[in-house]
Amino acid sequence: MAALHHAKAGFKGFMRKAWSPFAATPALGWLLSALAAVLLEKWLGLALAHALGLPKIPMLFGFIIALKKPFLIPGTLAFVFIIYLLPMALVARFSAPLANRASRALLKAPLAVSALVHLALLYAALHVWAEVSDYRDITLRLTMIAVMLTLSLNVINGYMGEFSCSHPGFMALGAYAASVFTVGLFASDRLFGAALLPPQLAPFLFPLALALGGLVASLGALLIAVPSFRTRGDYLAIISLAFTFIVKSLIENLEWVGGPRGLSSQPDLASLPMVFAVCALCVWVINNFVTSILGKATNAVRDDETAAEAMSINTRRTKMAAFMFSAFWAGVAGGLFAHVLRYVNPATFGIQKLAEVLAMVYFGGLNSVLGSVVGAVGISILGEALRPLEIFKWILIPLLLILVMIFRPTGLIAFREFNLRRVLSPKEPPQGRS
């Protein structure tokens, strides 16, 4: 036990020492370094891959290729080192003073300006990274949708402490509402006939379609929010589960949206910038909500409802808002999902989807925006990276999740707030200004 403790301390010390060159690198510096790496990959990646004996650029930092063709591992490692690790380390280290100065200057303006600059850089890096292949592009978009779903479910399951199983249902409502809107207006297909509006309008009306999806989902949420006034915990879990089955079964029986065969020919509107913008908006709005007093009222309802009421918190309003708000974003995510895949069918929104979203929420951490992002990105990337293992992936990931639950029952990063200002602040080296 003591030896283990010693080893742990030693490891921590080593990590701290290894990290020390980067202690002064602010978020801006890391984004710059990421941008540098992906640009390098864009220009030199293919040539380097061929030089290292790889058939093409490793799609997911070499995970997939390493699992598929183990003899390519050395080449993959070299690629990752040359393209990602080395340039990122160099840029992060040597751009730090500049990045710190820039961060400080940006923070003099309103926080939103600094946030937008960071987001633009993040988008640029992701865009360049995704340009390399369609696979990356679609994985990235689905990951961002997973972030939205996870975060919105966290509002109910984490922040409000109910066990809601209704998210696939909300998502289905959003997906179908948005799809009916866009397919009906902009596509010529067998269900809705010819397009009613010119397709040039579609990108402008797409946010409206998403909002419609969100609104339909939050109307559906009323079916759960109202019983939640009287019922809590287990019975609410069943009500929400029944809701998911009802929505799924309802759509299966609606022939005009395609019934069990599903609905296709959605116009290609959920492009990377679109998904990124909506996802960023979702994270921002949800973060705003959960850090406000009205949002923290959900925590009070979770921890002690009687005390919440006695302290003048309107618990019905709080529950209603949380359910409808969460459902809204699940609906928007569903709308995006339908337009990324450009096909939906009711079978998508069943138990499997539920297990997936729940896994992401509880893996990442309850009651934490950052946790949800980590959970969604972590499970999504893991799911892709382990793809070569085929079905054994579905033994490995559940096992990992069981371990996380045993050692961190509320998830990896639970009950932690996300302070935008601190994230965007310049970082001074620990020994003071140099």
Partner 1 sequence: MALLTVENMTHSFGGLTAVRNYDLSISPGQIVGLIGPNGAGKTTIFNLITGIYAPDQGRVVLNGEDITGLRPHEIASRGLGRTFQDLRLWRHMTVLEHVMLARYSRLDYGMWGAFWGTPRRWRQEAAAEKKARELIAMLGLSHLADQVVINLPYGAQRRVEMARALALEPKVLFLDEPTVGMTPEELDQIIAIIKRVHRELGLAIFIIEHRLKFVMELCQRLQCLVFGEVIARGTPEEIQNDPKVIEAYLGEEKVA
Partner 2 sequence: MTHFLQNLVNALQWGSFYALIALGYSMVYGILMLFNFAHGDIFMVGAYIGFGMASLLLALVAWGGLALPSWLILVLTILVSMFLTAIVGVIVERVAYRPLRDAPRASAAITGLMVGIILETGNLALLGASRVRFPSLIQSVTFDFGGVYVTNKKIMIVAVSISLMIALHQFVKRSKWGMAMRAMAYDYVVVPLMGVPLNTIAALTFGLGSALAAAAGILFSVAYPVLDPYMGIVFGWKAFVAAILGGRGSVLGATLAGFLLGFIEIFVAMVFPSTLRDLIAYSIILVILVFRPHGFFGEPYSARLRL
Structure tokens at 275: 């998904």
257 touches, from partner 1, partner 2, none (C-beta below 5 to 8 Å by class): none
Neighbours of 398 (CB within 10 A): 12
Over the window 357 to 396, marking each residue x when it contacts partner 1 by CB under 8 A and - when it does not, the resulting string is: ----------x-----------------------------
DSSP 268: S
> Minimal distance in Å, beta carbon 269 to partner 1?
24
Q: Pick from 14, 81, 235, 415 the residue near partner 1 by CB under 8 A.
A: 415
As a residue count, the chain comes to 434
CA 117/CA 19 separation, integer angstroms: 26
d(CA 230, CA 232): 7
Closest to 168 (Cα-Cα) out of 258, 256, 241: 241
Write the CA distances from 14 to 9, 19, 23, 88, integer angstroms.
9, 8, 14, 20
206 binds partner 2 (CB under 8 A): no
**Minimum CB distance to partner 2, residue 161 (Å):** 8
Judged on CB neighbours under 10 Å (0-12, 13-18, 19+), 162 is: buried
Which CB sits closer to partner 2, 121 or 355?
355
**Cβ proximity to partner 2, 138 vs 237, nearer residue:** 237
Question: How far apart (Å, rounded) are the C-alpha atoms in residues 212 and 129?
Answer: 31
CB nearer to partner 2: pick between 226 and 285: 226
Asked if 406 touches partner 2 (CB under 8 A), the answer is yes
Q: Is 392 one of the binding residues for partner 2 (CB under 8 A)?
A: yes
Name every residue whose Cβ is closer than 8 Å to that of residue 146 and which is 6 or more positions away in sequence.
357, 360, 376, 377, 379, 380
The reply on whether position 144 binds partner 1 by CB under 8 A is no
Asked if 231 is part of the footprint of partner 2 (rule: CB under 8 A), the reply reads: yes
Site for partner 1, residues 278 to 317, rule: CB under 8 A: 285, 288-289, 292-297, 299-300, 302-304, 306-315
User: Binding residue for partner 2 (CB under 8 A) from 30, 176, 328, 362?
Assistant: 362
CB of 310 to partner 1, least distance (A): 5
Residue 294 beta carbon to partner 1: minimum distance, rounded to whole angstroms: 4
User: Residue 248 and residue 346: Cα distance in Å, rounded?
Assistant: 5
First to last CA, the chain: 41
DSSP 258: T
311 binds partner 2 (CB under 8 A): no
Counting contacts by CB under 8 A, is residue 222 touching partner 1? no
Structural contact between residues 339 and 267, judged by C-beta atoms closer than 8 angstroms: yes
Residues that bind partner 2 (CB under 8 A): 157, 163, 223, 226-227, 230-232, 234-235, 237-239, 241-243, 245-246, 248-250, 252-253, 260, 305-306, 351, 355, 358-359, 362, 391-392, 394-395, 398-399, 401-402, 405-406, 409-410
